[in-house]
Amino acid sequence: MAELTYRDAVARGIAQEMARDEDVVFLGEDVAKAGGVFKATVGLLEQFGPLRVRDTPISEQAILGAAMGAAMTGLKPIAEIMFADFLAVCYDYIANEYPKSRYMSNGQVKCPLVVRVGSGGGARFGAQHSQSVENWCMQYPGIKVVAPSSPVDVIGLLAASVRDPDPVIFVEHKSLYPVKGEVPDGEIVDTLGTAKILRSGSDCTLIALGLMVPRALAAADKLQSEHGISCEVVDVRSLVPLDAQTILGSVARTHRAFTVEENPRVLGWGAEIVSVIADESFYDLDGPVVRITTPHIPLPASDVLEDLALPNVARITETVRRAMSN
């Protein structure tokens, strides 16, 4: 057992899969010699060489186009788009090319690839480098969307993503890169489409993703100690496929639900989960499902305003307390 940071877990996860399968290749801007702009890929060039770990030009279209061509001809590429916001530059691949290739070719052309992106706010990068984009990607049939919140989940879910036959958008939260966690020795492989219950509770369910997971856990501790409210915390981990069974099972036990979302409120991933709960567990609910989100605004450049916009422990705690008192 070792303690690793989230960023070191990224490098270990990539190295695990590259060592296991020589068809796995890695490409992106500054991922080789520089070890990644977030220092999440340090050492991979030295370990696997320049044929398998490649720096690319500053062209998101070229990165994703090369990854698709490599995948269609038998390789298993991992491509990095440095900031998740830059997916907008090469979005045709995400919306039209990756998810439809196997379907339109009747299975003759497969696209087994992973696109890693640094997502989310709280790191003072401003409106064009701080967006939480999971909900951008989850609307297209054929694309899988994963967002780990801990170092061990980074490794296990990355392994599952690389080994999956479909394209996967692998969302790494920039503000989690320095966070440390215990990671077992040896190979780690997880399963896509599985949520985790990180804290058991009886009064309500907090459903969170990415950076919002540790904030939901901290709020749950505060709600228990200060208000006597017992919160169950579910880490969604995988939006597509979605582990609706775990979420609905939790709601059936607690009878109240709250989503904790970093993305702007309109069409956020939590809206889909609320829809699933309304369809499948309406009569288990003792009150309306409450969404705790970022307002529908670009993230401010001001440190104070950015912190105010993102859901924090205080806002989560107060929203849950107020709703549970009604």
Domain positions in the chain are 2-183, 196-324
Q: In which residue are the tokens 């690839």 written?
A: 113
Active site members:
129
- pLDDT of 301 reads 87
Cα–Cα distances in angstroms (integers) from residue 240 to residues 78, 92, 211, 250, 316, in the given order:
18, 19, 18, 19, 25
Instruction: Provide the residue count of the chain.
Output: 326
- pLDDT of 242 reads 98
- pLDDT of 8 reads 98
Structure tokens at 297: 């605004």
What is the topology classification, in CATH, of domain 2-183?
Rossmann fold (3.40.50)
Task: Tell me, rounded to whole angstroms, the distance of Cα 274 from its chain centroid.
Answer: 19
CATH 3.40.50.1820 fits 196-324, yes or no: no
DSSP states along 86-118 = GGGGGHHIIIIIGGGHHHHTTTSS----EEEEE
| Each residue's pLDDT tens digit, 77-115 | 999 999 999 999 999 999 999 999 999 999 999 999 999
| Each residue's pLDDT tens digit, 208-243 | 999 999 999 999 999 999 999 999 999 999 999 999
H or E stretch covering 298: none
CB 83 within 8 A of CB 125: yes
One fold for both 2-183 and 196-324? Answer: yes
- Helix (H, G, I), strand (E, B), or coil: what is residue 38? coil
The H-assigned helical ranges of the chain are: 6-20, 44-48, 60-72, 91-92, 101-104, 134-137, 151-163, 212-227, 244-254, 269-281, 303-309, 313-324
State mean pLDDT over 49-58: 97
Compute the mean pLDDT over every residue in the chain, rounded to the nearest whole number: 96
Alpha carbon distance 164, 253 (integer Å)? 33
Under the banding of pLDDT at 50, 70 and 90, the label for residue 326 is confident
pTM tops 0.85: yes
